Amino acid sequence: MQLFRTLAACSLVVSALAQQSLVQLIQGNPNLTEFESLLKAFPNLYSNLSSASDITVFAPSNAAFAKLNYTVLAPAFDSYNIDFQRELIRYHVAVGVHPSGSFSNGSFSFLHTLLTNQSTTNVTGGQVISVVEQAGNNFVAVSGLGVRAAITDLDVTFNNGVLHIIDTFLIPPPDLTTSSPSFNLTSAPAAFIAAPSILNDYVNVAEDLTIFAPNNAALQSIASSFSSMTVQDFTALVEYHIVPSNTTVYYSANLPNGAVSQNGSIYNTTTLTTLQGGNLTITFIANSLFVNQARIIQEDLLLSNGVLHIIDSVLDPNVTGVAANPENPAPVQVVPGSSLPGNMLPFTTDLPTSTSILFSLVTPTPTMTANGSEATGGGSAATSTGSGPLSTSKGWGERVEVGTGGTGIVLGALIWVLGFI
């Protein structure tokens, strides 16, 4: 009888917790006091989230706020960029209820978020975050620039969804040009800039793109070939690495993952049509993904308008019969050519070098009213009492000044791409 009473009491507690609202959950969690302060600065958004159905909140912990000043997001908070902060909150809310049991061990799940503003993202259904369960029952959420956030508290339920607490802010993915330095990718995005200008604009803004970008070594190994290409041939080569769509981004979860046994190996293929018009053959074999002959060496790098997969060799629309060979660890080169003297990287002189425009966008005019509520209309400048969006005035550490490179460039470009200035 006593056991029955204990079980009944536990059931009532669980039921009561599940019935609490999002507001009650956050108010009652001592690890979310800073997140609560941020949400209160946007009362309309907070109210909408509290009444929304079937959502999953990835809530930055107090520890995440404590290290905010040492991330690329710092100037957006220091300068009270409330438009950016509002969209940042939306990026931390996924559509649908996603408890930890829905995440696969070793395979990424891609969750669409409430970040849908087309000045911010151009992904059908909203920008995504990716979540995976790793060894030791550890869960990680991955966002733009490859930023990884550990999920420290799982499955905190409320009446219209579930909340997971994360130890690091998620970063809305910027475009290809801005993201590439974080992935040690310089030649491939510069190749898009070297191509006709319409192509460079296209890869950064077109909807639902999947880009297969050769790494620096792949382009370096055939660098001598580019000087002999016509503009038409070069453009076709670049376009052959881009898969357009109006509905689907080909994250790894949408690519073959093994279903057919051939000669004792799991084997599966599919084809994707490129911007150039030719087809790519995507092959899953020996636990690896290939695009034609090229091995995908880094998957699922999120972009503002799709996804980037890095490959180990250059694709050629005129050479499509070379099959994937998982037994050969070396890159398979199908474009004839050789390295330049001194192993120079091709196209890097075409990278943008001026940062003056980017840095002018890092410190916008504050648009916060004196009581910390959201400004209306044009958002005239006003002071804040500290109850609005967060800044270093709360004592979270020394302000990190934007320098002349590295994080400052990425942040400036990030805010420029998001279009909130």
Neighbours of 181 (CB within 10 A): 17
Confidence class of residue 118 from pLDDT cuts 50, 70 and 90? confident
Top pLDDT among 414 and 110 is at 110
- Mean pLDDT check: name the lowest of 33-47, 107-121, 386-400: 386-400
Highest mean pLDDT among 172-181, 252-261, 387-396: 172-181
Top pLDDT among 405 and 47 is at 47
User: What distance in Å separates the CA atoms of residue 103 and residue 139, rounded to the nearest whole number?
Assistant: 8
**pLDDT recorded at residue 18:** 55
**pLDDT recorded at residue 263:** 57
3-state SS, residue 285: strand
Which tokens belong to 384?
Answer: 């804040």
pLDDT tens figures, 6-25: 444 444 344 445 589 999 99
**pLDDT recorded at residue 7:** 40
Which tokens belong to 387?
Answer: 């109850």
User: What distance in Å separates the CA atoms of residue 73 and residue 85, rounded to the nearest whole number?
Assistant: 9
CB contact set of 40 (below 8 Å; sequence gap of 6+): 46, 372, 387
Top pLDDT among 409 and 270 is at 270
pLDDT tens figures, 71-109: 999 999 999 999 999 999 999 999 999 999 999 888 999
Report whether 111 contacts 249 (CB < 8 A).
no
pLDDT above 90 covers a percentage of the chain that reads 62
Tell me which residue has tokens 């191509």: 195
- The average pLDDT across 152-163 equals 97
For residue 290, pLDDT over 90 is answered with yes
Q: Rounded mean pLDDT of the chain? A: 80
Which tokens belong to 88?
Answer: 């940042």
CB contact set of 292 (below 8 Å; sequence gap of 6+): 280, 281, 315, 320, 322, 324, 334
**pLDDT recorded at residue 274:** 97
For residue 340, pLDDT over 50 is answered with yes
pLDDT tens figures, 350-394: 544 322 222 222 223 223 222 233 333 333 222 223 333 333 233
Confidence class of residue 412 from pLDDT cuts 50, 70 and 90? very low
User: What distance in Å separates the CA atoms of residue 230 and residue 91, rounded to the nearest whole number?
Assistant: 43
Report whether 84 contacts 420 (CB < 8 A).
yes
Residue type, 365: T
For residue 249, pLDDT over 80 is answered with yes
CB contact set of 98 (below 8 Å; sequence gap of 6+): 56, 109, 111, 131, 162
Residue type, 206: A
User: What distance in Å separates the CA atoms of residue 390 and residue 394, rounded to the nearest whole number?
Assistant: 7
- The average pLDDT across 108-112 equals 97
User: Closest Cα to residue 390, out of 39, 26, 23, 30?
Assistant: 39
**pLDDT recorded at residue 380:** 28
User: What distance in Å separates the CA atoms of residue 103 and residue 137, rounded to the nearest whole number?
Assistant: 11
- The average pLDDT across 247-263 equals 77
Report whether 34 contacts 357 (CB < 8 A).
no
3-state SS, residue 382: coil
Report whether 18 contacts 159 (CB < 8 A).
yes
Confidence class of residue 348 from pLDDT cuts 50, 70 and 90? confident
pLDDT tens figures, 317-335: 999 889 899 989 999 999 9
Q: What is the dihedral of CA 168, 131, 123, 237, to 10 degrees?
A: 100
Report whether 303 contacts 122 (CB < 8 A).
no
Top pLDDT among 211 and 321 is at 211
Whole-prediction pTM:
0.80
